[in-house]
Amino acid sequence: MMHRSVNFNYLKTQPKSAILRMNTLAFIIVFLGVQASSAVAQNGTVGKEFAQSFAQSGVSGAAIIAQENKALTGLAHPHFQPEDIFELEVASDPQVSPNGKKIAYVRRSNDIMDDTTRASIWIVDVSGENHRPVISSQKNHYSPRWSPDGKRLAYVSTAEGAPQLYVRWMDTGQTALVTNVASSLSSIAWSRDGKTIAFSMSVASDEKPFSVKMPAKPKGANWADSFQYITKARYQADGRGLLDPAYTQIFIVPSDGGSARQLSIGNFHHSGTLSWGADSEHLYFSANRSENWEYEPNESDIYSIDMSGALQQISNAPGLENNPVVSPNGKFIAYSKRDDKNLAYRNRYLHVMDINGENDKNLSASVDNAVSNFHWKGNAGIYYQQMVRGVTQIDYVTLASAKHSNITNGLGGVSLGRPYTSGTFDYADATFAFTKGRHDRPADIFVQQGSKQAQLTQLNEDLFGHKTLGAIEEFTYNSSIDGEEIHGWYILPPDYDASKKYPLIIEIHGGPHLAYGPHFTAELQRMAAEGYIVFYNNHRGSSGYGERFALLLQNKYSSKYDFADHMSGIDALIEKGLVNEERLYITGGSAGGIATAYAIGLTDRFKAAVVAKPVINWLSKVLTADSGLSQIPNQFPGMPWEEFEHYWERSPLSLVGNVTTPTMLITGVDDKRTPMSETVQYYQALKLLKVDTVLVKVPGASHAIANRPSHLVGKIENILAWFEKYE
């Protein structure tokens, strides 16, 4: 493998293109500024030397990174490199025009100068012709939604600053600003007659929190900020921080512009999918309007509201009823239903009921996975999607007989960092549009009409057309603890030689009730490009394998059970003759970070570990994180002060006395899901044990630690540098 330390004087003699292409952690220091490990920072103060080298060379860093990669194809590396991440693009949110002839979609591109991901709206004919931007600029444009007649396109844009609703006339290209609101809006929905657009928006509460009267401040005085008062149980959210007292409300606005009008009232969240009735006078949505709503994570009902604001409750069963979709004739409502059991995972089912809430029927009782994204085919049946063994598929069910059939498989590719199973579709006039990728390509837009499927976009061909990425192999094996079958994949190095044995990295997914699949992954492909076999699996508890499998970790995460699933997969790859068993490494994020920390408390077989955004102590986590109110009743048998031993046994901190594995910890400073305090506990414990460890704090990052392109690059390169240190 390539050694990753930096000779900074070398920069002075290199052309700009070579500096751009350098595969070193100096690249990360420029964009991220995170703490480099001692192995990399062997020349002293890395950031200072790097800056001095740039200054002495007379090369502008901004000028270097602004160069287009495609202009450097003569020097382009044949494998996936860190700077390639800034060139990645991904398609999402496809929307079929009502006549089935055009697809509007969101195209997300990384901006190397601003270190952001830009969203623009593009359109393409179902034939693949006339692929062009609808609106594209340095701002963000997203959520395209066709009018019922297909002549206009509504979307959200930050063109004027705060996100606002716009409408574009597709024949003339004229665009009108429809709203002028203070908060971000979502859930755009056209009325059936095209005259009105509904949306959701957060509105400040009129509740008066606890406060204290202070003496008057003298004119010109500069006092400290006012005290903050928190009175709500749900007072914080990852990515948003402390929440102002506010509630999601439903609004309507004329589609040709005018004043937005609030329909819903009350200190409740009225959210999720908005669906219009056939009369264009009623909206259907979901909400929990119970006075105890903060403490009822497993409860919501379907409501309707008319244009006067009159509210009617449609469903009233225990559990979560949400995402209503009214049939074209206005007689039925399809919606998602999940029971109210206090479990970490429950399947979501497709239900249909009369528009007044009567004659409820479960159409997906025979489907042993969660279903979502409902689209009516006339009034006779419904298309939906489900995740099955690491891949998302589109299925169809008839209304009369609940007969199911498959339409297509292979949706995914929307997640750029890790190979999470994802993807979505839209349907209109016998045309499906969906996101689909490959192991070596992020998501593009595909269409299907009848049995004929076609790829409409090739967003990353200019980047990957001349590169070789690691091949993915699928396999299954049995867990040593109880024989349970586990589904996994491994990525081979791009220049794999069957006569050699390779070092192995196991990367564990988050959730834990999520799933990986055979999809593009920038993180794992970078690892493979550096000469590792990268193993990942859908261990017990993963979704897409039925409710029984998902619940195998109920009250057992983390434990010897998921640990055995991971170790058995590694052993299976060693038995295949692929892996050098003296060079094993382990990493994972969120739930995968928990599993990593738990594993190194049970074994010393790994040469090094990287624990990303973990829970270390469940007792402190559930009482400090934004998810505690839902996690306590669903994931644990009782309150932490009542079930102390259970919380402690699930905590990696309970095993830290066994740890000898060199460990890097990496977490976002603003993480509210697995707070930095969790990471700091483990760091301090490892230091007290004199285990080689480094704590990497990512400034400004939430639990979505790799949301900014440089953060994604930085996360990957820190992991690789740490593992290389212990080669």
Give per-residue pLDDT as tens, 291-348. Answer: 999 999 999 999 999 999 999 999 999 999 999 999 999 999 999 999 999 999 999 9
pLDDT at 137: 86
User: May I ask the CATH class of domain 278-411?
Assistant: mainly beta
Distance (Å, whole) CA 579 – CA 573: 6
Mean pLDDT confidence for 405-424: 96
Q: Which range, of 205-209, 248-252, 534-538, averages the lowest pLDDT? A: 205-209
Say how many CA atoms lie within 13 Å of 592 toward its Cβ: 25
* Residue 380, number of CB atoms within 10 A of its CB: 10
CB 589 within 8 A of CB 609: no
pLDDT at 75: 61
Average pLDDT in the chain: 90
Instruction: Tell me the residue ranges of DSSP E strands in 542-607.
Output: 579-589
34 band by pLDDT with thresholds 50, 70 and 90: very low
Instruction: Quote the CATH superfamily of domain 88-207+232-266+435-459.
Output: TolB, C-terminal domain (2.120.10.30)
DSSP secondary structure letter of residue 416: S
Distance (Å, whole) CA 690 – CA 27: 30
pLDDT at position 23 over 80: no
Look up residue 520 and give its two tokens.
């593009």
Helix (H/G/I), strand (E/B), else coil: 141: strand
Distance (Å, whole) CA 646 – CA 619: 10
Instruction: Quote the CATH superfamily of domain 468-725.
Output: Alpha/Beta hydrolase fold, catalytic domain (3.40.50.1820)
Q: Give CATH 2.120.10.30 domain extents, the chain.
A: 88-207+232-266+435-459, 278-411
Helix (H/G/I), strand (E/B), else coil: 550: helix
- The predicted-structure confidence for 528-537, as pLDDT tens digits, reads as follows 999 999 999 9
Q: Give CATH 3.40.50.1820 domain extents, the chain.
A: 468-725
Q: Which range, of 5-19, 93-107, 361-375, 682-696, averages the lowest pLDDT? A: 5-19
Mean pLDDT confidence for 211-222: 93
